[in-house]
């Protein structure tokens, strides 16, 4: 299988990095193809850019919504200084709505397109990173926001454009996603205070299953700062076997 690993941790000596190394060791032994995208190493920008809005302007956008967005005004305002705005206003003056949509679509962020190509080739998507505020850290959350875009991860029918969540049409063909999370809090806290349920509702169900991922395995390595050496060793063995015994079941 082809496995794409989204990894993020600023410390190369971290336990999170050890989890990555052991998971990869298992993948190698099992003969899987894999790629690690180290978001810190490639300096991925997690901040949604003005050009990222181009992913949400599509030929199936209801005409009245396109008109309501006033894309002509937006294009002019985003052009830059006074002269650039004048040039932009002149350039789009006689363009049809379809031509405007095509123009906007051509401005999609190149770094996002690169990541989307990697996702499109994968059978399994893996996230290995810490927990921040009961979610992914900003770097990984930003990757999801910028990469799993409209037209790539999902589309909307008429009801969806009107705000109905059941109007989302999944487009991802990923067989499986795996999340490996070292945590600060212990397992009891995650279970009894609802942290686990909240994270899996937001990340697993809404962020991954909803746009079409077949199955999500979410692994927690609890209380990593206070874990005993034996517990840490057990965690690393779990990561190794997750790679070695990887399946889509």
Q: How confident is the model at residue 188 (pLDDT cuts 50, 70, 90)?
A: very high
pLDDT-derived band at 246, boundaries 50, 70, 90:
very high
Give the highest mean pLDDT range of 163-167, 221-225, 237-241: 237-241
User: Average pLDDT of the chain?
Assistant: 89
The closest alpha carbon to 157, from 166, 147, 148, belongs to: 166
- 190-204 residues labelled b (16+ CB within 10 A) or e (exposed): beeeebbeebbeebb
Question: What percentage of residues in the chain have a pLDDT greater than 90?
Answer: 62
What pLDDT sits at residue 85? Answer: 76
Domains in the chain: ranges and CATH: 2-47+110-244 (3.40.50.360), 50-105 (no CATH)
Q: Which of 224, 220, 226, 227 is nearest to 196 (CA)?
A: 220
Q: How confident is the model at residue 122 (pLDDT cuts 50, 70, 90)?
A: very high
Say if strands 168-170 and 216-221 run parallel, antiparallel, or are unpaired.
unpaired
Q: What is the pLDDT of residues 2-56, one digit of tens each?
A: 999 999 999 999 999 999 999 999 999 999 999 999 999 999 999 998 778 878 8
Give mean pLDDT, residues 187-213. Answer: 92
pLDDT band at 113 (very low <50, low <70, confident <90, very high): very high
Q: Compute the half-sphere exposure of residue 93: CA atoms within 13 Å on the CB side of its CA.
A: 6
Burial class (CB in 10 A: 0-12, 13-18, 19+), 140: buried
Q: pTM for the whole thing?
A: 0.89
pLDDT tens figures, 72-93: 777 777 667 887 778 777 777 7
The 10s digit of each residue's pLDDT in 131-158 is: 999 899 999 999 999 999 999 999 988 8
């Amino acid at each position: 299988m082809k496995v794409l690993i989204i990894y993020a941790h600023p410390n190369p000596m971290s336990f999170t990095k050890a989890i990555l190394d052991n998971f990869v060791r298992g993948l190698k032994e099992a003969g899987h193809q894999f790629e690690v995208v180290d978001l810190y190493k490639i300096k991925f920008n997690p901040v949604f850019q003005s050009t990222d809005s181009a992913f949400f302007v599509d030929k199936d956008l209801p005409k009245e919504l396109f008109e309501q967005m006033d894309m002509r005004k937006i294009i002019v305002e985003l052009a830059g200084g006074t002269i650039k705005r004048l040039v932009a206003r002149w350039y789009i003056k006689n363009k049809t709505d379809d031509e405007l949509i095509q123009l906007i679509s051509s401005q999609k962020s190149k770094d996002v397109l690169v990541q989307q190509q990697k996702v499109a080739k994968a059978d399994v998507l893996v996230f290995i990173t810490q927990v921040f505020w009961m979610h992914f850290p900003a770097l990984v959350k930003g990757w999801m926001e910028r990469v799993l875009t409209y037209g790539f991860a999902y589309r909307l029918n008429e009801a969806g454009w009107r705000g109905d969540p059941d109007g989302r049409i999944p487009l991802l063909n990923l067989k499986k996603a795996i999340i490996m999370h070292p945590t600060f809090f212990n397992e009891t806290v995650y279970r009894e205070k609802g942290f686990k349920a909240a994270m899996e509702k937001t990340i697993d169900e809404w962020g991954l299953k909803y746009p079409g991922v077949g199955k999500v395995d979410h692994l927690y390595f609890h209380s990593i700062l206070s874990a005993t050496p034996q517990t840490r060793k057990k965690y690393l063995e779990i990561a190794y076997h997750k790679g070695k015994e990887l399946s889509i079941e």
